[in-house]
Amino acid sequence: MTEKPETKNVSSRQNIRKWILILSFILIPVTIFYISPIIVMMGAGEGVASGSLLLYIALFLLSLVVARLWCGWLCPMGAWQEICSPVIKGTVKEGWRNWIKYGVTILWLGMIAFTFSQAGGIRSVDPFYGTVNGISISSVQVLMMVGMIFAFIFIIAFLTGKRGTCHVFCPIAGIMVAGRKIRNLFHWPALGLSADSSLCIDCKKCSKECPMGLDVNGMVRKDEMENADCILCASCADACPKGAIRYGWSRK
């Protein structure tokens, strides 16, 4: 009797997360100018700090407290990969692939800095840069750009594994991982996962439900839940029948 309300709450949380992701995906033609790294570069070329740049700065600051929560709950690119998950069977292998995104991040940030320097620095701040009345321009060119972006994301994920673009290529992921590393250095309270390995029954439901394809069961057994590729979606915590994984705020 006591487990039914908990199961209902767990199901509700993941249903809410999935519907938020679906809505984020549907709205991408409207919001693309606030998300696209390309718009950041276009604005930088004119000395303008665009809405995309301001969003990425905000995501870095938020990562100091909530790590990669954006990836698990709001990112339309992540939503697209989860929508495609039925045809993406593998998981991203540990090793050099996971390091590519850091190189991409450094290169991208360097290009932004260089482009701003060529334009004479940041001369203005325009959160609505490139939009019409605050909404991304709905045109054939924009829709084609969105289509190409999502085709690229699907190909990367299909070739590398679950949420492969998040693992391998996304520069925003690199920014948020850096924020989390800074938080871990100072140990201020932040959102995260913890686990009690003594409660684990090795059912491996946590690993099966992880949209990033992480070996969550192995993380629980090692009592090490901190992982740069964890997107704090809480799927593992909600899937665990014994409550071995906890989702909440801590200093650890």
For 137-198, the DSSP string reads --SHHHHHHHHHHHHHHHHHHHHH-TTHHHHHT-HHHHHHHHHHHHHHHHT--EEEEEE-GG
pLDDT digits (tens, 9 = 90+) for 196-243: 999 999 999 999 999 999 999 999 999 999 999 999 999 999 999 999
Mean pLDDT of 81-92: 92
What's the CA gap between 196 and 218, in Å, rounded? 12
Residue 248 lies in a domain: no
Distance of CA 6 to the CA centre of its chain: 27
- Among candidate residues 98, 96, 55, 91, the one with its CA nearest the CA of residue 75: 55
**pLDDT recorded at residue 9:** 56
Q: Is the pLDDT of residue 25 over 90?
A: yes
Residue 198 lies in a domain: no
Q: Is the pLDDT of residue 7 over 60?
A: no
Residue 224 lies in a domain: no
* Angstrom distances, CA of residue 132 to CA of 33, 146, 174, 208: 10, 17, 30, 43
* Other C-beta atoms lying within 10 Å of the C-beta of residue 126: 15
Owner of token pair 């909530």: 66
β-pairing, 48-50 vs 190-195, is unpaired
Mean pLDDT of 89-111: 93
Residue 210 lies in a domain: no
Residue 196 lies in a domain: no
**pLDDT recorded at residue 4:** 40
Q: Is the pLDDT of residue 8 over 60?
A: no
**pLDDT recorded at residue 72:** 97
What's the CA gap between 114 and 54, in Å, rounded? 18
Mean pLDDT of 141-154: 86
Count of the separate structural domains present in the chain = 1
Q: Domain of residue 128: give its range.
A: 3-188
Mean pLDDT of 4-18: 70
